[in-house]
Amino acid sequence: MSLLAHETKHCPLMLAIAKGKPTMEQHLESLTHWDNWFADEKPIHVIRFFDDADSLHPPSGAGKETKKWMNEGADNKFRAFIKHMMIVVPEDQYERMKNMSVTKVFGIPGGIFPSTDDAFEWLAQQADTDIFDHDDAWRNDIKETIRAHLVEELPK
């Protein structure tokens, strides 16, 4: 069972939460969620949270669809509206992925992190993030939101 959830309750910090290998349907729905985030035309910050190694592997054909979507204007929206993007990967995948560049790929400030705590620390050091409390309560609330999505999707 896979999960690809999008959460806006911490806006302007958006969450994209993945677990298991996504289906093409989930991938295409994800692009629609991103379009909805961009539709507000307001600055956002994004944490993409990948729970396991499988969640890092898009379905066959996803790259082609994403490239088409980016070429149709999403690339400009990324640069216009996303102020920071943090990609949290499983610790056992971090060494393999740590040298990938969010800035090089998307043209925005960001990074690859082995934990949400590392992502939060990086975000706290960036300019224009004083809209966030950056305190333990804020961080714990976001972690709880991620956990709730992951638990919600567990087989019963």
* pLDDT one-digit tens code per residue, 11-29: 999 999 999 999 999 999 9
Tell me the mean pLDDT in the region 86-94. Answer: 97
Q: Which structure tokens are listed for 75? A: 């690339």
Please state, in angstroms and rounded to a whole number, the distance separating the CA atoms of residues 23 and 58.
8
Confidence band of 136 (pLDDT split at 50, 70, 90)? very high
Confidence band of 153 (pLDDT split at 50, 70, 90)? low
The pLDDT score that the predictor gives to residue 111 is: 97
**8 A C-beta contact, residue 33 and residue 45:** no
Please state, in angstroms and rounded to a whole number, the distance separating the CA atoms of residues 84 and 74.
16
pTM for this structure?
A: 0.93
Please state, in angstroms and rounded to a whole number, the distance separating the CA atoms of residues 118 and 3.
23
Tell me the mean pLDDT in the region 29-42. Answer: 96
The pLDDT score that the predictor gives to residue 156 is: 44
Tell me the mean pLDDT in the region 75-80. Answer: 94
Q: Is 144 exposed, middle or buried (0-12, 13-18, 19+ CB in 10 A)?
A: exposed
pLDDT at 39 over 50: yes
The pLDDT score that the predictor gives to residue 150 is: 93
pLDDT digits (tens, 9 = 90+) for 120-132: 999 999 988 888 8
The pLDDT score that the predictor gives to residue 13 is: 96
